[in-house]
Amino acid sequence: MSSQSYRSTRSAADQAVSFEEAVMTGLARDGGLFIPSQIPKLPEDFISKWKDLSFQELAYEIMSHYISSSEISGPELKDLVDRSYSTFRAKDVTPVKVLDESKGLYLLELFHGPTYAFKDVALQFVGNLFEFFLKRRNAGIEDPAKRENITVVGATSGDTGSAAIYGLRGKKDVSVFILYPTGRISPIQEQQMTTVEDPNVHTLSVNGTFDNCQDIVKMIFGDKEFNEKHHVAAVNSINWARILAQITYYFYSYFQVLKAENNDAAKIRFVVPSGNFGDILAGYYAKKMGLPADKLIIATNENDILDRFLKTGRYESSGDVKATFSPAMDILISSNFERLLWYLVRDNMTNGDDAKAGETLNEWMVQLKTTHSVVAPESVTAAARVDFDSERVDDEATIQTIKAVYSATPDNYVLDPHTAVGIATTFRFVAKDKQEGVTDLKYITLSTAHPAKFSEVVNKALLSFPEYCFDDDVLNDDLRSLATKEKRILLIDEACKEKVKKAIEEELAKESKA
Ligand SMILES: *Cc1c(COP(=O)(O)O)cnc(C)c1O
């Protein structure tokens, strides 16, 4: 096993931190994101060696290239991986489904975890990692006042909150507080979050908007006194461990398609519905490790900063976030994109100099914050286009794609709206290939959520089909049963930081008595 350390994307010095520090602090002190000091390169024969491994075995192999065994031993890592994926309903964890055999189209179903969205793949693992590190730090300390504990605080418009709750429920020395806007998340998402019985889980329904919730969380993070007292932590999408856990399914699905095609030289592209760029960034790491994927294709909704960057080289936020049918991808700026920019700058502008790349990134990110715009040199955009391509899909095309796939598949397959953005993109690329006479490309589109989580949009698309019935065709017993469970909700009647702080302190006091 390798020795691996981490650095910040904004650091102009060679300061290394451990995997544990990168995971437990999340964001670097200089505001940058943690990246591994080196991307491990796999030996030439890795395909024949890894092709038949189970998801868990692959996860272990990949992760052990990024975590020094002096930090987490082999058997400990194996145990963490096994426990993290034992909560998935599918034996394969992330199964691959044939969408259209004749065209070489595959779907990678990432929604078989506890909250039915792809974020579970990462957050089940992150929850166990937090617990592992805290357990070690607290070994032998009985006095609760002396034990190190963390208070995770987050805001959600849906998917992240429930996946974080299911990742952290019941974990010792961890408390979780998730804020969401009252009446503005889907019923199933609210049921998922509020029916969890573990005493360390707290859901705060805030009378306000998602932006209000996010602002309160930011203010709480900036509140030094509160922070020192309660050790406030985040599990947002910039945490390195989330990216790491997601690398596995790129390898896993690649091997499944090689086997399905009976061709180890098949040319495979990944299409990824993208928002904060965390999911597809894991594909970039897989590619740099040596996975011979042909291209990674970014599929955005109308919040299209990534698509505009690839087409113009301008990384700029424009106006306000647009509320679309794929809400988990409604972002102005993609926080994880900073990591890709660092590699592009280092390899194309600073001659491989890590510290100089950090300096440039720091300048760019300051500029992005003040002027909302960074223009990358042509060398950087050209390099981005070697690994990536992109498309932008609007709400109308999202609906049309859900309809088209439902009609065209023998089992009337129902896409969730995020996955539909991905499939719409795939269809456009397949059409382009046909025009250009390209016939040998295979496509794996990442399916990021179960359709039942987004009933409103799915019904909008499918209710015109006479035989369609949401309750029979989309819902399942597990999700149906949520509606009958008791909900635990703390109502915060005003979007106000002090009221949220007070509620958190009261709940923490109750927890420590329990
Ligand atoms: C979070 C999420 C995405 C976007 O993933 P990023 O890593 O932010 O690019 C897409 N679909 C669903 C259902 C999600 O929950």
Domain ranges of the chain: 96-109+241-456, 118-236+476-514
- Nearest CA to 230 out of 30, 499, 502 is that of 502
Query: Known catalytic residue: 119?
Result: yes
3-class secondary-structure state, position 482: helix
Q: How far apart are CA 74 and CA 58, in angstroms?
A: 13
User: Is 299 close to ligand 1, i.e. is its CB under 6 Å away?
Assistant: no
Q: What is the pLDDT of residue 157?
A: 79
Q: Of 3.40.50.300, 3.90.1150.10, 3.40.50.1100, 1.10.10.10, which CATH number belongs to 96-109+241-456?
A: 3.40.50.1100
pLDDT value at residue 79:
98
pLDDT tens-digit readout, 388-412: 999 999 999 999 999 999 999 999 9
Sign of torsion over alpha carbons 154, 156, 160, 163? positive
What residue spans of 336-415 are helical by DSSP H? 337-348, 354-371, 378-387, 395-408
For residues 401 and 258, give the distance between their C-alpha atoms in angstroms, rounded to a whole number. Answer: 26
Contacts of 270 (CB under 8 A, 6+ apart): 250, 280, 283, 293, 295, 296, 297, 443, 444, 445, 446
Contact status, residue 263 vs residue 236, Cβ threshold 8 Å: no
Domains 96-109+241-456 and 118-236+476-514 share a fold: yes
Side chain identity, residue 21: E
Rounded distance from Cα 235 to ligand 1 centre (Å):
14
pLDDT in tens, 212-233: 898 899 899 889 999 999 999 8
Question: Which residues neighbour 506 within 8 Å (Cβ) at sequence distance 6 or greater?
Answer: none
Percent of the chain with pLDDT over 70: 99
pLDDT at 14: 78
**Is the CB of residue 453 below 6 angstroms from any atom belonging to ligand 1?**
no
Of the residues 49, 91, 119, 322, only one is catalytic, namely: 119
pLDDT tens track for 281-327: 999 999 999 999 999 999 999 999 999 999 999 999 878 889 999 99
Q: Is the pLDDT of residue 1 over 50?
A: no
CA dihedral 18, 23, 29, 32 (to 10 degrees): 100
**Distance between Cα 495 and ligand 1 center (Å):** 26
pLDDT of residue 365: 95
Mutate to test the pocket of ligand 1, among 115, 121, 159 (most ligand atoms within 8 A of CB): 159
Best mean pLDDT range from 142-156, 183-197, 440-454: 440-454
The CATH number of the structural domain formed by 118-236+476-514 is 3.40.50.1100
Give the integer Cα–Cα distance in Å for 313 and 191.
42
How remote is the CA of residue 504 from the centroid of ligand 1, in Å? Answer: 28
Measured CA to CA in angstroms, residue 440 lies from 262, 425, 507 at distances of 13, 18, 58
